[in-house]
Amino acid sequence: MSISEPLDDPWAADSPGDRLPASRRRGSEGRGGREDRHDRGRDGSGWDSAPSFERVPPQDLDAEQSVLGGMLLSKDAIADVVEIIKGHDFYRPAHETVYTAILDLYAKGEPADPITVAAELVKRGEITRVGGAPYLHTLVQSVPTAANASYYAEIVHERAVLRRLVEAGTKITQMGYAADGDVDEIVNSAQAEIYAVTEQRTSEDYLALGDIMEGALDEIEAIGSRSGEMTGVPTGFTDFDSLTNGLHPGQMIVIAARPAMGKSTLALDFARAASIKHNLPSVIFSLEMGRNEIAMRLLSAEARVALHHMRSGTMTDEDWTRLARRMPEVSSAPLYIDDSPNLSMMEIRAKCRRLKQRNDIKLVIIDYLQLMQSGGSKRAESRQQEVSDMSRNLKLLAKELEVPVIALSQLNRGPEQRTDKKPMVSDLRESGSIEQDADMVILLHREDAYEKESPRAGEADIIVGKHRNGPTATITVAFQGHYSRFVDMAQT
C-alpha cells in the first residue's frame, strides 16, 4: 500500500511504499512536401485549408501519405493503423477524408484499394477534393510495402499531439492575457487543456447516433462474452457487486450516513477490495482521518487484528504473526492516501489528473464532501450552493478521468426524528443537488447504533437508494467494528 505524504509533492522517484515497515522523433518539419505544407492555411478559404498559424504547425505529410498508401495496399495495415490514429490526427483534411473512406469500406467487409476508395469518394462527391483518383494511386506508389504502416502512423500521431499542444498553449496564453474571471478557475481551465492533450482528446465531442450505436453494441457483446464476469471496480461485497456489476467509470457514487455509522470504514472496504485484492490503483483523499490512522484501520481489517489492541499497545504474539503475514501484500498495494487538510475542489482535481497520468488510477474516494472547500476566490452565496458546486464538479471529474468517484456525505437529523431510523435519500445534508448529480446513492444504517440491545446487533444495511443504471435494493452485511470492516454475512 503506497501511503504518501500529502500529494502536493506526489510520487517522486522514490516509492512512497519504501517508507513502510519491512516486508523516435524527426524534426517537426517532416520529411518533405514543403510547398504543400506552406499552402495550407494561406487563405483560409479552401476546403483543404486550416486555421493559419504564425509558424508552420508540427506535421509530416510524407508520413501521412505512407500511412494511407500502406492501408490501400493491405487490410492488415488498416487493422494496425486504426489502433494508433484517428481521422483528426491527419494534418491535411484531404488525407482525413481518404482515411475515413478506407475505414468505412473496411467496416463493411469490402476491399479498400485505390479503385474501390475512388468509387466510394465519387459516390460521396468528394473525389475532386482529395485530388482525384490519380492521387490515390500516388499514395500507393509512395510506399514500397505496407509493413511499416504502423511506424508511420506513430509519426502522424505524435505530430497531432504536438499540434494540440500548440493549440492548448495558445488558449492558455489567451486566457492569461484576458484575465477574465477568477484566477483559480483560469488555472483549472489551463490544467484541463493540458490534460486533454495528454489524453488525446479533441473538441469534437459530438457524434451521430449511428456512430455511437456501433460502440454500444460492441460493449454489449463484450459484456456477454465475459459470461457474468465483473465489468466494474469490485467492492468486495458479493450481493452489492451482483446488483451493480461493480463501480463503473464516470460514475459518481455517494456514501451517506449519520455520524459513527461507518461511512469511512465502508469506503476503506471498497478501497481494500480494489487495490489489495485486485491490484487496481486507487486514491483516498481523507479530510477527516490522518494517514497513520487509515493505515492502522486497513491493517486491522486485513490482518484481523483488533484495532483497539493496536491503539492500546496490547497486541499479542498471535496478533503480530497475523500482521506480519499480511504486511507484504498490503504494503505493495497501489493505494495512495492524501490527508492534506482543507483540500479544495481544484486541488483534488489537479492531483487526480496527475495520478491518472502517472498511475492510471481506477478509483477515487473523498472523505468527506462537507469538509471540502470550493477553492475559488469568489464566495458562494450559501454553503448549500457551495456544496452543490462541489457535487457537480465531482461528477465532472468522474467523467473527465473515466473513473468511479466515491464521495462520502453526512445526512441531516431526519432519521433520528423518525420512529423508523432508516435513512432516506432526501436526508442528504445541505444540498439536493448531491442526489441529482449522483449516479448511485448508498445509505448506511445500523440498528445497534441507536439500540444497543437490538436483535440485529452486528448487522448493517447497505441501502442502494438511487441507482441510475439499475435497480435499488437493501443489502445486509455484517459489521465487525473491532476489525474496522464490513463483510458479507456468509463470512461471519
**CA nearest 36: which of 72, 70, 62?**
62
Is beta strand 363-367 parallel, antiparallel or unpaired with respect to 282-286? parallel
User: Letter for the amino acid at 457?
Assistant: A
Q: Is the peptide bond before 450 cis (omega within 30 degrees of 0)?
A: no
**pLDDT tens column, 237-261:** 988 988 888 899 999 999 988 888 8
Q: Cα torsion for 191, 195, 201, 202, to the nearest 10°? A: 20
The string of DSSP codes covering 329-369 is: HHHTS-EEEE--TT-BHHHHHHHHHHHHHHH---EEEEE-G
Average pLDDT over residues 206-225: 72
pLDDT band at residue 94 under the 50/70/90 scheme: very high
The model's pLDDT over 329-352, given as tens digits with 9 standing for 90+, comes to 888 889 998 888 777 777 788 788
pLDDT recorded at residue 115: 93
pLDDT, tens digit (0-9, with 9 covering 90-100), for 20-40: 444 434 444 444 443 444 444
- Which pLDDT value is given to residue 53? 52
- pLDDT score recorded for residue 70: 92
- pLDDT of 226 reads 62
> Which of 296, 286, 247, 234 minimizes the C-alpha distance to 263?
286
DSSP 141-197: HT-S-STTHHHHHHHHHHHHHHHHHHHHHHHHHHHHHHT-S-HHHHHHHHHHHHHHH
Average of per-residue pLDDT across 101-108: 83
pLDDT beyond 90 at 7: no
Between 148 and 42, residue with greater pLDDT: 148
Mean per-residue pLDDT for 316-331? Answer: 89
Q: How far apart are CA 426 and CA 128, in angstroms?
A: 62
Higher pLDDT, 430 or 124: 124
Distance from the first to the final alpha carbon of the chain = 26
Q: Taking 80 as the threshold, does the pLDDT of residue 473 lie above it? A: yes
Q: Percent of the chain at pLDDT above 90?
A: 22
> What are 3's three cell numbers?
501511503
The yes-or-no verdict on residue 218 having pLDDT over 70 is yes
| Residues 489, 487: Cα–Cα separation, whole Å | 6
pLDDT given at position 54: 65
Angle ∠(358,362,368) on CA atoms, nearest 5: 105
User: What nine digits make up the cell of 466?
Assistant: 438511487
Q: Please report the DSSP string for 287-302 in residue order.
A: SSS-HHHHHHHHHHHH
Mean pLDDT of 161-176: 87
Percent of the chain with pLDDT over 70: 82
User: Would you say residue 18 has pLDDT above 60?
Assistant: no
Q: What is the mean pLDDT of the chain?
A: 80
Confidence at residue 236, expressed as pLDDT on a 0 to 100 scale: 87
Position 275 scores a pLDDT of 92
More confident residue, 81 or 43: 81
Q: According to the model, what pLDDT value does residue 4 have?
A: 46
* Diameter of the chain measured on Cα atoms: 87
Residue 445's φ and ψ, nearest 5 degrees, are -140, 135
Question: Rounded to whole angstroms, what are the CA distances from 258 to 110, 424, 444, 490?
Answer: 61, 11, 8, 26
Query: Is residue 138 pLDDT above 70, yes or no?
Result: yes
What's residue 435's pLDDT?
A: 78
Structure confidence at residue 345 (pLDDT): 78
Residue 369 grid cell: 464532501
In this prediction, residue 38 carries a pLDDT of: 40
Residues 6+ apart with CB under 8 A from 207: none
How high is the pLDDT of residue 185? 79
pLDDT-derived band at 215 (thresholds 50, 70, 90) equals confident
Please say if the pLDDT value at position 286 is more than 60: yes
What pLDDT, on a 0 to 100 scale, did the predictor assign at position 341? Answer: 79
Average pLDDT over residues 58-73: 92
| pLDDT tens profile 383-435 | 677 778 788 888 888 988 899 999 998 887 777 777 777 888 877 765 567 77
Residue 202 has pLDDT above 70, yes or no: no
Full set of structural domains in the chain with CATH? 34-161 (1.10.860.10), 231-491 (3.40.50.300)
